[in-house]
Amino acid sequence: PTWRSGVRLRPTLRFPPGVARRVGGLAVAGVGALLAQQVSILVAARLAKSYGTDGTYTTYLTVIQAVYLLPYAVLAVPLATSTFPRLAGRAAAGDRDGYARMAASTTRAVLVASGVGATALVAAVPGVVDVFAGIADGDRALVASMGPALTLIAPGLLGLGLIFHVSRSLYALERGRAAVAATSLGWLTVVVASVVACWLLVPDGRDGPATLNALAVGTSVGMTVGGAALLVALRRAGGPGVGAGLGRTVAVLLLAGSAGSIAGRWTVDTVLAMVGSGVLGAVGAAAGGACIAVAVVLGATWLADRSTLTGLRSAGGRPGPGRLLETTRHTDG
């Protein structure tokens, strides 16, 4: 994508004039968001130890988080990464209208990709749980009880996808402080929401499944807040055009995602009831249910929000190569 956007890389031992300061600002922004994320991880570990049972945090980190991050890594990250050079090119060229159109279409596309992943995950949960329960070496009862937690954490994929994409969209506009503030807000909200959820859902403590549910709720709430805060920051930085069509995309995703999750989950439950226990049967059931869920979401998007699926191609031109390395100056107001 970088080559196609017109950028030509030439190794050097020093930054061009004025670039070192901007690179330093991006580095500080990245470190700030990372620190906030690490705080949320430490708090989750402490809550799991205080409210859960032996193996609660291990199950949360190595199973629930791993499954949760898979659709994000496979769907949202590649899409957001491949579109960043074009966004940066338009920002550097001073093409504000082109940037707004590209930001709108890519943000909606990342939302759809994240929504597809979340819907597939919710649908596949019973099969996923059976697979891990069948191969687990530790507390199999705890692993077998993680279905509700996987369902509760899935909506956070939409916010997580937005955090990855929109923060980089702000970096392209040199709004690093706005990006780190919104991203940090999301991770700190994870901390607060997780603490509150543990108070409410695990009042007596020593309840592994309930603690998993509480941590999942905290993650979903925090990622949603972080994604929403980044959208607000992007609108302030890029103008109202960056949110064009976003409301329709969200509405379609909510309706289609709910329908797809229900249809896919019913399929998985039905297949598991027919084939019984077993890792291979669970894998097949999960895959089938996920495919049905994905088909529902993509079909509804094609019918009701087709421009989201076609917008990337129509917005895919590039600014002239001679202008790509020009820099516009912005301040974080």
Query: What is the mean pLDDT of each successive set of 10 residues along the chain, which is 333 residues long?
Result: 74 79 74 91 97 95 96 95 90 92 96 98 97 84 94 98 96 92 97 98 94 98 98 96 96 98 98 91 97 98 94 53 38 39
Quote the pLDDT of residue 328. Answer: 38
Please report, for the chain, the start and end positions of each structural domain, with discontinuous segments joined by +.
Answer: 25-316
Quote the pLDDT of residue 24. Answer: 77
218 touches 48 (CB < 8 A): no
DSSP 116-131: HHHHHHHHHHHHHHHH
Query: 3-state DSSP call for residue 243?
Result: helix
Indicate the Cα dihedral angle 274, 268, 288, 152, nearest 10°.
-160
Tokens 């690093």 appear where?
176
Per-residue pLDDT tens over the stretch 272-331: 999 987 899 999 999 999 999 999 999 999 999 999 998 766 554 444 443 333 333 433
Cβ burial of 11 (10 Å; 0-12, 13-18, 19+) is: exposed
Quote the pLDDT of residue 314. Answer: 57
pTM exceeding 0.85 = yes
Quote the pLDDT of residue 26. Answer: 72
Quote the pLDDT of residue 156. Answer: 98
Quote the pLDDT of residue 325. Answer: 36
Quote the pLDDT of residue 9. Answer: 82
Tokens 């990006």 appear where?
179
Quote the pLDDT of residue 22. Answer: 72
Tokens 């509405």 appear where?
251
- φ and ψ at 267, to 5 degrees? -60, -45
Quote the pLDDT of residue 12. Answer: 84
